[in-house]
A and B are shown apart, each in its own frame.
Chain A
Amino acid sequence: MTYSMPREQGLQLLRHMLRIRRFEERAAELYQLGKIRGFLHLYIGEEAVAVGSIPSFTSEDAIVATYREHGHALVRGTSMGTLMAELYGKATGCASGRGGSMHFFDASRRFYGGLAIVAGGLPVAVGLALADKLQGRARVTGCYFGDGAVAEGEFHESLNLAALWKLPVLFLCENNLYAMGTALARHQSQTDIAAKAQAYALPAETVDGMDPLAVETATRHAVEFVRNGNGPYFLEYRTYRFRAHSMYDAELYRTKDEVAEWKRRDPIMTFEQTLRTARLLADTDLQNIETEIATEIEDAVAFAEASSWEPVEQLTKNVCTPKT
């Protein structure tokens, strides 16, 4: 990695990656304690993708993500406290506790989930982009999904429609090589995902998803391209999930060696090294960042703990919009 960014911006990338990592490590502990339940899909190992890409979107743009969305919401700016409260299921959570880990939402940041049906977000993103186009707004919709989604019909239908109608949507495929336990090569005849997108006449690019700088550069260009009215764009980030698919699985589908090999490319470790080599990061900087994050996490956990449960009397609240 050659470094080509102002120091503060680089530190910000590192800070965000560490925020995600530490937040999720804490969430995993809280899961063991029974504070968090249901499914908890960790993003650990893939942080460079959200951290390098999300800041390319303005606050006017829209984000659609999956059930592995903790990192995206954190970088988008939703407060860690409301995210932690959501993991707890507390009323102060970013979805009033109704959704939990898989369903983060934040209307004020145009964050449309947290959607847990694989590929279910793509058609929605196409529609958000259609609305912008019809209303003449120069906004972009960023749609994140995994390599598994590439197999669904909705992936193909959405790419086709977006390209056909020249809609301002950026497709962001987080290719971590596995859909649960099924390796890409075991579920795709064509494993070059960018090539599939090109088949729908979409400009598409493959990016090193373990390198936040590469992610940043590629995403910034792609967002610009879409915002300038050139129609949709497709990015495939090559990345890797270090943990199990959800909290536990037997990991029968991959070897320990393979995981260890990818861990050598840990985006936090390697980027830290890049910054040090460029003499932009001193031990004290790192300590300060870690201290800040530790405080943020403690505050978030305290907030979640102190928050109240939604009263059962409100069980059927928000099923329909109240008539005024």
Chain B
Amino acid sequence: MRSLLPGAERPVVQFENVGMRYGLGPEVLSDVSFRIAPRSFQFLTGPSGAGKTTLLRLILLSARPTRGLVSIFGEEVSGISAKALTGLRRRMGVVFQDFRLLDHLTTYENVALPLRVQGRTEASYRAEVVELLRWVGLGERMHALPPLLSGGEKQRAAIARALIARPDLLLADEPTGNVDPGLGRRLLRLFLELNKLGTSVVIATHDFGIMDAVDARRMVLGEGRLRIEE
């Protein structure tokens, strides 16, 4: 449901005075408000333990805010139905900090997963998946199981899995944390490319090397508060 007027387009993500705590612990995030515009590119940064992963989990709806409003693709998510939740998740791609590849599936099967769970037949997506795998440099490793992949290869497999379903929103948690600077820059170019094609991208990182390489909005977390640097 997109508006006809480009300027009035609904934000992909909108937080209003969101607070979040784990159990009875202290508030990890307090009064966080921001919007992520369609087709935008931003970094989410802050020191380790600042709450970057927590904020991404709130967007992913794998954690619920203790207070405040979270809207994803224009939909307020408190009390969302399981069916609608699945629909929202199919429009998002995620690269987890720890990859979360399924160890009993091959690289190819892992990358194809978002298409497979939509009930598509293997024949309908095979070429697409192979093409993407070759493009991220995993053409020779499609049959390998994740435990046999190097850190960089796992990273690329996780990114390919996040991209394969052509999401409207891509979330990446420390995507360059485990790779050498050269590969890190190549992965960054990949995200920029994807962004040019229309996907909103949020990259959580504390790697100043890659942040300084791109002139993009920075969302800085510190002591539970969010500060935006345009």
Chains A and B come from one and the same complex: no
